[in-house]
Structure formats: C-alpha cells, structure tokens
Chain A
C-alpha cells in the first residue's frame, strides 16, 4: 500500500499570501493518478487537481499542482478567505488500494 504523508499538518497564513503544501509518497506514484482535494467543514471533498497538475473544472488558476515520483506539491497563490480549509492528496493508481494523505489544514493567521 502506498502511504502518503502530507506536510505541514497545519499552515497558518494570511489572506493574500501563498500556501505551499507537500505530499510525499512511500513509493513512486504515476503522476497520471495523483490528485488534490479541498474539504471545508460540513462539506464533501472537492476535486482541485488531477493528473498531478491539471485543474479540475471551475478551479481558479490560483491553484496549481506539480511534482512526480514520490514528491508532489499543491500551491495556492494569493489566498482568499474561501481557501481556508483542509487539503488532501490522493493517489488512485491502476493497482488499488487507493490512499489519501492525512490532510493539511490551512488556517487564517
């Protein structure tokens, strides 16, 4: 099973700042099957990034994903109040099981 480890656990930032979230895999992941989700309290997760770097429909270009192999990054430029949430990385490769990171909470400083 591929273990995904996200860092930091919590990120305290102010609106307008840049957030950089990291996800490290215990073994190499096909970039085609790597995603990032945003989850706000009381809501279902929302797909932000798939294929490591492709934005899902309706996701603003402030959100960008990068990385390959075992190291992946989600960058959120110019944080807006609506961006403060928990973010999960996820691998959904052709060989299950699919796994998630434990989440990074982006909170208002």
Chain B
C-alpha cells in the first residue's frame, strides 16, 4: 500500500526555521518526484514546490513567492523528502502535505499533512 507520512510540524516563532519530512513506503520512492503543498486554515490548496527523481536530475521547482526561503531535498536511501523552511512568516501557517507525483496522473497519493504554526 502506498503511504506518505509527513512529520516535523509544530509551533515556531516568526523568522525561525523548520524542516519537514515526508517518508514514503509501499512504492519505489526513488522513481518518483515528490511535491509539497500547503493549506492555510479555512483556505484553499497552494502548491509549494517539487523535486524530480534523480534519474531526471533531482532538480527542484518552487512557487515564485517562496523561492529562496523554502528548499526541497530528498534522501532516496531513506525514502524521505524534506522541506526546509527558513525565515518563517505568520502567513506560512497551515497544513503541509507531501505527494507522490506520477508523470501522467500528477499528485496521485497524499499524506495526511503536518501542521505548521508560525506565531510569536
């Protein structure tokens, strides 16, 4: 069974950093791109960015507004993708999801999300 589990969320002060993890199981993690999305409380879905699989260069793409503050990486030996968030702002508060990205179907499996609260 394909599963994705996010972890690392919590309460953090503005300006601080936080690293989220996304652990995949039930599939060949290294063969897939991984994307991150977020959802502010009571709001819609927002794409954060994604990392391609290493056969496709392992390169990353980001939402324009987040470029430079957020960094996505992966460790295929552990089946984990990371979202490093720096210089956090109150508007970064929300539920962060990771997804497996299929070439054709896009984000076909989602984790349950991890909550990030940025507040003083």
A-side residues, CB < 8 A to B, are: 1, 32-33, 35, 37, 39, 43-47, 50-51, 54, 56-57, 88, 90, 92, 96-103
Pick from B105, B110, B113 the residue with the most CB of A within 10 Å: B105
- What residues of A have a CB within 8 angstroms of the CB of B86 in the complex? none
- What residues of A have a CB within 8 angstroms of the CB of B62 in the complex? 96
Q: A96-B61, A100-B46 are in contact. Are A44 and B105 (CB under 8 A)?
A: no
- What residues of B have a CB within 8 angstroms of the CB of A39 in the complex? 45
A100:B105 contact, CB within 8 angstroms:
no
- What residues of A have a CB within 8 angstroms of the CB of B35 in the complex? 98
A56-B97 Cα distance, complex, nearest whole Å = 19
User: What number of residue pairs across chains A and B have CB atoms under 8 A from each other?
Assistant: 65
The 3 closest A-B pairs by CB, nearest first: A44-B110, A50-B105, A98-B47
A44:B44 contact, CB within 8 angstroms:
no
Instruction: Please name the residue on chain A nearest to B67 by beta carbon.
Output: A97
21 contacts between A and B (CB under 8 A): A32-B104, A35-B105, A37-B45, A44-B110, A44-B112, A45-B97, A50-B102, A50-B104, A50-B106, A90-B106, A96-B47, A96-B49, A96-B62, A97-B63, A98-B35, A99-B47, A100-B44, A100-B45, A100-B47, A102-B44, A103-B45
